[in-house]
Structure 1
């Protein structure tokens, strides 16, 4: 019952708008996969540049 109270707004939002956060979760997974490939990157600006070019 506590889980429903905590997530009540998200649950109601799904039934009102028929929208979920699946696209955001998918994007986060892609960023994690990309970040795992580039461990030890020294140039953060270049890392962010590559990230925007691949997933924009």
Structure 2
């Protein structure tokens, strides 16, 4: 995922369908300098992690 799109999703009030390793996640914020995002699985909000933007996939139907 490109960093501009990740920032749009993170700041939007509308929930986007984004996955990390096939797991639906929520993007909390984006670190543009390191090209990473702070995320957590939708069903496990306490499992925060920092991952590469390249590893995030936006599901479009």
TM (norm. structure 1) is 0.23
TM-score, structure 2 as length reference: 0.21
| Higher helix fraction (1 or 2) | 1
Which structure: greater strand fraction?
2
